[in-house]
Structure 1
Amino acid sequence: MKKMILIACIGLSLAACTATERGAGVGAATGAVVGGVATGNVRGAAVGAAVGGVAGALIGSVEDQPGQCYYRDRYGRRYIDRC
């Protein structure tokens, strides 16, 4: 029961955020879990949270721009253009 209440509170707290904030939050949480499991220490979890947060914010920022997508050119550079 406590787990369900905790999950509901987290879900409701993310409902009021913008897409960029939600992406950063979900990315940081996922990165922390993956980094902690992969390395088995707190430093790995912290690095995973930082990388996941930045990646999530980048992905979430595209959601704030309807009709915009990330693309890569043949040189590996990323750019945003219409979908």
Structure 2
Amino acid sequence: MPAWLLMATTLVYLGGCSGMSARDRNTAGGAAVGGAAGAILTGGSAAGTIGGAAVGGVIGNQVDPNKK
């Protein structure tokens, strides 16, 4: 994939997050990190990636940056 196409795709993706609430962004970020971790830990297994994304999304959803 050409570098310019990757950069353009990334900018469009990030622009789509502008209307999201903090909880929505945390959920999406948690799912992304969890999916990557699941893929790494299971050697690229689809079940591991999906499971990691699900767990990461739940954890990200429960994180509250305003909680004291």
Q: TM-score, normalised by structure 1?
A: 0.71
Which stretches in structure 1 are left out of the alignment for 5+ residues?
70-83
Where does 1:24-63 land on structure 2 (aligned, <5 Å)? 24-40=27-43, 41-59=45-63, 62-63=64-65
Q: Higher strand fraction: Structure 1 or Structure 2?
A: 1
Compare CA radii of gyration and give the structure with the larger one: 1
User: How many residue pairs are counted as aligned between the two chains?
Assistant: 64
What residue in structure 1 maps to residue 21 of structure 2? 18
1:9 counterpart residue number: 12
Over the matched positions of the two proteins, sequence identity in percent amounts to 30
Q: Which has the higher helix share?
A: 2
Instruction: State the alpha-carbon separation in 2 of the partners of residues 23 and 56 from structure 1.
Output: 5
Gaps of 5+ in 2: none
RMSD: 1.1
Which runs of 4 or more aligned residues in structure 1 lie more than 4 Å from their structure 2 counterparts after TM superposition? none
Letter in 1 for 2:50: A
